[in-house]
Amino acid sequence: MAKRRKEDALETREKILDAAITVFHKRGVARPSLTEIAELAGVTRGAVYGHFRNKSDLFAALTERVQFPGEKLCEAGGEEINRDPLGVLRTRWLWLFQEIACNRQWQLILEIVFHRCELVTESGEIHQRLIQGHTEGTTIIHKLVTAAVAQGQLPADLDIDVAVPMLHGSLIGVLEDWLLQPEIGDLGELGERYIDAMIDMVRFSPTLRRQGSEVALH
């Protein structure tokens, strides 16, 4: 009996999350109430509060269904990073692009995160979660790029503090643009070219070298 109650509770929780995806994707995160989500899920408002403290808690649980770029990058072990940091960066981002391209639920959740999450007072906790994800992503990319410089995969005079936010912003921008217009092509195929182009730019662009490095070479 206890096992059955646990299964029922889990089923209810998943129904609420499914309903939240539909509601947030259609109306944004700030405006809808938990009552709207409860009605779509076919449960009471009390049932929603039985699983989630508030809308921010529900949103946080929703985002746990998808793996964000920073999280995927963090999966790499120290030995793998030390051996081929640039390869880790490339393969992890490519996996994400390929997974997103064929996973409709991930697409909906990421559309909510990038394009339906209004920055208003009520969504303060949600905004903080997005900032945290951005910080984690740039931190691990900084680690990988620094390791790539140490391994000789990238120029020794690379201005890492300029290259990292440019690289992170470019890859996130590719994802955001594709979510707005997925008809432009397969994200898995396009993503591979985008990633390689970004890496080539970091590797060869003279404007990404530390200031004064050219003078020092003459």
pLDDT in tens, 59-86: 888 888 876 655 555 565 567 778 899 9
Q: Give the per-residue pLDDT at 217.
A: 43
Mapping DSSP to helix (H, G, I), strand (E, B) and coil, where does residue 158 land? Answer: strand
Q: How does pLDDT run across 112-151, given as a tens digit for each residue?
A: 888 887 765 555 666 676 777 778 888 889 999 999 999 9
Query: Which long-range CB contacts under 8 A does 139-143 form with residues at least 24 apart?
Result: 139/70, 140/70, 140/73, 140/74, 141/73, 141/89, 141/167, 141/168, 143/81, 143/85
Rg for the chain, CA atoms, rounded: 21
* DSSP code at position 44: -
Q: Give the per-residue pLDDT at 124.
A: 63
CA distance 117 to 123: 8
The whole-number average pLDDT for the span 85-106 is 90
CA distance 32 to 101: 28
pLDDT at 30 over 50: yes
